Amino acid sequence: MKTSYNSNIYHPFRVIVAKEISDQVKSWRFIILIAIITLTCMGSMYTSIANLSKSIKPGDPEGTFVFLKLFTLSDGTMPSFFVFISFLGPLLGISLGFDAINSEHNNGTLSRILSQPIHRDYLINAKFMASLIVISVMLFALGFLVMGLGLILIGIPPTPEEFIRIVFFILLSIIYIAFWLNLSILFSVRFRQPATSALAGIAVWLFFSVFYILIVNLIIKAIMPPNNGVEFDSYHYEILKMNLLRAIPNQLFSEATTTVLMPTVRSLGPLSMEKVYGTIPGPLPLGQSILLVWPQVTGLTAATILCFFLSYLSFMKREVRAR
Amino acid sequence: MSGNIIELSNLTKTYGSFTAVDHLDLVIKKGEIFGLLGPNGAGKSTVILMMLGLTEPADGTVKVCGIDPVKLPIEVKRKVGYLPEDVGFYSDLTGMENLIYTANLNGISKHEARLRAKRLLDRVGLPNDADKKTGKYSRGMRQRLGLADVLIKSPEIIILDEPTLGIDPTGVREFLLLITRLSKEEGLTVLLSSHDLHNVQKICDRVGLFVRGKLLAEGDIKALSRKLFNSNTFIIEAGVNGLKPGDPAEQLKIVLKSIDGIVSVQIREEFFQIEGSRDVTAEIARCVINSGLELHYLNRKELALDDIYYQYFEGDKRYENQL
């Protein structure tokens, strides 16, 4: 293998990534998605700015984090920025990946590309990489746009800590969307028809965001003793419910982002009276907030890697035939 | 190596209990055009995939340019151009862009790629369609672009899987002529698989008859007919005027049958069909004239591959035992 390429010759991996990025960016679905996401972001920013003055009360411990409110504040008519991301992120991930492999196969390009002198995993890795780059650039651009606009409109600059929290939030969103991207790439390897794989992705998304919570509630109701008079018992059931919910990435993401964007969140589970007793209400420092969500971040990353591993495995094992 | 560019020995591929390729031994020499002929589902594509390292053999070895594609698929794919059956291109890129993409994957610089692509598009007869999106190409044009795509990496071997499938007769002839010309000019080794015996036999130096995972016979057409019809090699048609099933004809038939070396004599509508184990043309002529009938023509038929092929299927079992 040649390792040294002169300035004009790129490594094949880079060539594929570059082509995939240009494919994504030029595609209609990406333009539609970016339009939807930009519109909703602007909408949520408008409501949060309109309500900003009302939300700051004297003596509020969150008062020092005015800038973060741009991302979290809502008056109930329109969800805030980070809720929008947790809702639209999966859609973005699914739509960027659902036809990654099967469309290549259906167009008859898969066997042609794999007969070029590249490793087979280049293709799937490059597809993942390209979509990830597109998502990252888009989210950072959106996040910084919201920050910039907010800066112009409210006139209060973010503190360094707020800035780091926002960057951390964007990184979290990228991991979260990467999970959905990998899930849809997995479906695109498994299912021949792009429509089937898109539908499978959306089905999982709906299941996680709607039905899973219902099912967990049902289970908890069924196993909880009828007279929940004793506080000790219901506390444990509450913990069980939280842990069941944490099996899905949506929950992990929303817990992590809430903690990062709202420094006053001190704990992610139910607190007993003993724990709350004697605490002084105040924001957590950045390091503590991150420490609090570290398990969530790890879980989210693990789920992402698991999906990628499965799709990688089934792609590598598959025999590539012409359509 | 001594001129053998592809060596397959004892190659076997099984899918569950089904044996797709059954202990195949085959040698292809440098610079020849080899036709792998056989009906659909005979295992031709599987053999090709194993040569490229796109699927692993269950048993046996493959050597392409002296390299084992199981261990070093990249090296093999660098030297081998593969045109898959029903090749596809990225439909939203132009023919030129598709070729440049392939060239870049092969580590050719953009500038060089453009030059080569332009030259190849001229050679395959698509000079005016370079900037047309491949989604608008016809089947025949796609096949030509496929040939250019295969040649852009300057391979030593080109493997074409069913290259004539779905092209009209004129297109097939032109395409095959193009292959012959290119292979002679560039000194390429060509392996093509096809079930279209009639056309393909014209351009092949050597063919292999491949049925149900087994190579029944290989060699040039003459050698093949010797191999498959080691008796009854000569078929002679004698056109006789006013031939009616009746006395003179029957008498002649008896006379002919008595000649040493004639195996069977059949009376067709306007001619006798005579099978002989040696060249008995002269004796037949003498007999016909002596019998008082008018001899119109005498034709010694060279066995075409079609006949060999159909003969094989008719006398399925017989030849299987024979070989």
Axis-axis angle for helices B95-105, B110-123 (nearest 10): 130
- The model's pLDDT over B148-171, given as tens digits with 9 standing for 90+, comes to 999 999 999 999 998 888 788 888
pLDDT of residue B191: 92
Q: What is the mean pLDDT of chain A?
A: 85
pLDDT of residue B284: 83
pLDDT of residue A187: 95
CA separation for the pair B292, A6 (Å, rounded)? 85
Q: Which two tokens stand for residue B222?
A: 């003459």
Cβ distance A5 to B108 less than 8 Å, yes or no, reads no
Q: Which of residues 124-163 of B touch A (CB under 8 A)?
A: 146, 149, 153, 161
CA angle A70–A75–A77, rounded 5-degree value: 115
pLDDT of residue A189: 93
Closest by Cβ to B89, choosing from A8, A109, A118 = A109
Q: Does B45 touch chain A (CB under 8 A)?
A: yes
- Structure-model confidence comparison of residues B226 and B113, the more confident one: B113
Q: Which of residues 192-251 of B touch A (CB under 8 A)?
A: none
**Which residues fall within 8 angstroms of residue A270, CB to CB, at 6 or more apart?**
A235, A238, A239, A242
Neighbours of B179 (CB within 10 A): 22
Cβ distance B105 to A118 less than 8 Å, yes or no, reads yes
Region of B141 (left: φ > 0; alpha: ψ -120 to 50; beta: rest) is alpha
Cβ distance A319 to B75 less than 8 Å, yes or no, reads no
**Which residues fall within 8 angstroms of residue B274, CB to CB, at 6 or more apart?**
B235, B236, B237, B238, B256, B262, B264, B265, B266, B280, B284
B230-256 mean pLDDT = 72
| Single pTM value for the model | 0.82
A283-302 mean pLDDT = 87
Q: What band does B228 get if pLDDT is binned at 50, 70 and 90?
A: low
Question: Where are chain B's structural domains?
Answer: 4-220, 230-302
Q: What band does A292 get if pLDDT is binned at 50, 70 and 90?
A: confident
pLDDT at A19 over 90: yes
pLDDT of residue B318: 43
| The dihedral sign for the CA sequence A217, A219, A224, A226 | positive
- The model's pLDDT over B190-217, given as tens digits with 9 standing for 90+, comes to 999 988 777 777 788 888 888 888 887 7
- Among A116, A119, A323, the strongest candidate for a mutation testing the B interface, having the largest count of B CBs within 10 A, is A116
Quick one: closest CA in B to A323, which residue? B86
Quick one: closest CA in B to A5, which residue? B107
pLDDT of residue B317: 43
Is CATH 3.40.50.300 the classification given to domain B4-220? yes
**Which residues fall within 8 angstroms of residue A62, CB to CB, at 6 or more apart?**
A69, A262, A263, A264, A283
A7-25 mean pLDDT = 89
Q: What band does A323 get if pLDDT is binned at 50, 70 and 90?
A: low
pLDDT of residue B320: 45
- Report the DSSP pairing between strands B206-211 and B214-219: antiparallel
pLDDT at B315 over 60: no
How many Å from the N-terminal Cα to the C-terminal Cα in chain B?
Answer: 28
pLDDT of residue B321: 43
The chain A residues in contact with chain B (CB within 8 A) are: 1-2, 5-6, 8-10, 12, 15-16, 19, 23, 26, 107-109, 111-119, 319-323
Helix (H) or strand (E) holding B217: strand B214-219
Neighbours of B74 (CB within 10 A): 16
Cβ distance B104 to A5 less than 8 Å, yes or no, reads no
pLDDT at A227 over 70: no
Question: Where are chain A's structural domains?
Answer: 12-317
Q: What band does A199 get if pLDDT is binned at 50, 70 and 90?
A: very high
Closest Cα in chain B, distance from residue A36 (Å) = 24
Closest Cα in chain B, distance from residue A215 (Å) = 41
Q: Which two tokens stand for residue A43?
A: 């909408």
Helix (H) or strand (E) holding A306: helix A286-317
pLDDT at B178 over 70: yes
pLDDT of residue A60: 62
- Residue by residue, DSSP assigns B256-316 as HHHSTTEEEEEE-SSEEEEEESS--HHHHHHHHHHTTPPEEEEEEEPPPHHHHHHHHHHTH
Q: Is the ipTM of this complex over 0.90?
A: no
CA separation for the pair B147, B140 (Å, rounded)? 11
CA separation for the pair A184, A94 (Å, rounded)? 5
Cβ distance A112 to B87 less than 8 Å, yes or no, reads yes
- The model's pLDDT over A58-96, given as tens digits with 9 standing for 90+, comes to 666 556 677 888 888 777 777 888 888 888 899 999 999
> Which residues of chain B does A5 touch, with a Cβ-Cβ cutoff of 8 Å?
107
> Which residues of chain A does B80 touch, with a Cβ-Cβ cutoff of 8 Å?
115
Please count the residue pairs, one from chain A and one from chain B, whose beta carbons lie less than 8 angstroms apart. 89
- The model's pLDDT over B30-75, given as tens digits with 9 standing for 90+, comes to 889 999 888 877 888 889 989 988 888 888 999 999 899 888 889 9
- Report the DSSP pairing between strands B234-240 and B271-276: antiparallel
pLDDT at B231 over 60: no
Q: What is the mean pLDDT of chain B?
A: 83
CA separation for the pair B41, B249 (Å, rounded)? 46
Answer for the pair B233, B279: CB distance below 8 angstroms, yes or no: no
> Which residues of chain B does A318 touch, with a Cβ-Cβ cutoff of 8 Å?
none
Assign domain B230-302 one CATH number from 3.40.50.1860, 3.30.70.100, 3.30.200.20, 3.40.50.1370.
3.30.70.100
Answer for the pair B83, B158: CB distance below 8 angstroms, yes or no: yes
- The model's pLDDT over B10-25, given as tens digits with 9 standing for 90+, comes to 999 988 888 888 888 9
> Which residues of chain A does B107 touch, with a Cβ-Cβ cutoff of 8 Å?
2, 5, 9, 12, 117
**Which residues fall within 8 angstroms of residue A238, CB to CB, at 6 or more apart?**
A269, A270
Answer for the pair A252, A299: CB distance below 8 angstroms, yes or no: yes
| The dihedral sign for the CA sequence B204, B209, B212, B214 | negative
pLDDT at B313 over 90: no
- Structure-model confidence comparison of residues A231 and A133, the more confident one: A133
């196993």: which residue's tokens? A223
Q: Order of strands, edge to edge, in the sheet holding B234-240?
A: B262-267, B271-276, B234-240, B295-301
